[in-house]
Amino acid sequence: MAEDTITNILIWGFILASSLGPFLFSWLVGNWHQKRIIARLLERETALPRDNLSTLKTPLSDKTIANSQLLMANVVSAPSHWQLFLAGIKSIFGGNIKHLDQMLDWGRSEALQRLREQASELGYDDVINLRMETSTISMNKGGQQKGGSIEILAYGTGIKYL
């Protein structure tokens, strides 16, 4: 009788661990990873002396432009299994899906920071006419969305003054 109870506890424990374990693991590792990449992004953003990005079509400065070039930076981002699970539950009841908003916010910030860094590395003083595009890139053969991977592309005209 005691052996049956122990066996049942072990079986149910295994069933719970194998069904909930991957979600718990995804939640723990996903949160740790997200906090780490957001902290790294904030460090990189504060390392640059000023924000050289502008959505204006013409530069604010009256200085003569010596050189210009199209600059592009992109980032691909996808939610973790835990975030997809929560989004599925939230979509039943409706409302804003905060976890996916955070993923998109990070993706936009990362794409803009990569554009700033690229402009700085290439010696451009400013980037004007900044635009951003977002596209879904994760589809299976039937055209159904698998996991919600997105690409965020930031582009603009890098200008160097004389």
H/E run at residue 131: strand 126-136
Burial of 103 (0-12, 13-18, 19+ CB in 10 A): buried
For residues 48 and 116, the answer to whether their CB atoms sit within 8 Å is: yes
- Opening angle at CA 28, ends 114 and 101, nearest 5: 45
- pLDDT category at 76 given cuts 50, 70, 90 is very high
- pLDDT category at 40 given cuts 50, 70, 90 is very high
Per-residue pLDDT, 128: 97
For residues 73 and 111, the answer to whether their CB atoms sit within 8 Å is: yes
All structural domains of the chain: 2-161 (3.30.110.70)
Residue 110 has pLDDT above 90, yes or no: yes
Q: The tokens of 119 are what? A: 């402009």
Residue 5 has pLDDT above 80, yes or no: yes
Nearest-angstrom CA–CA distance, 144 and 151:
17
Residue 151 has pLDDT above 90, yes or no: yes
Per-residue pLDDT, 111: 97
Grouping H, G, I as helix, E, B as strand and the rest as coil, residue 112 is helix
Nearest to 122 by CA among 73, 71, 75: 71
The count of other CB atoms within 10 Å of the CB of residue 35 is 10
Nearest-angstrom CA–CA distance, 83 and 80:
5
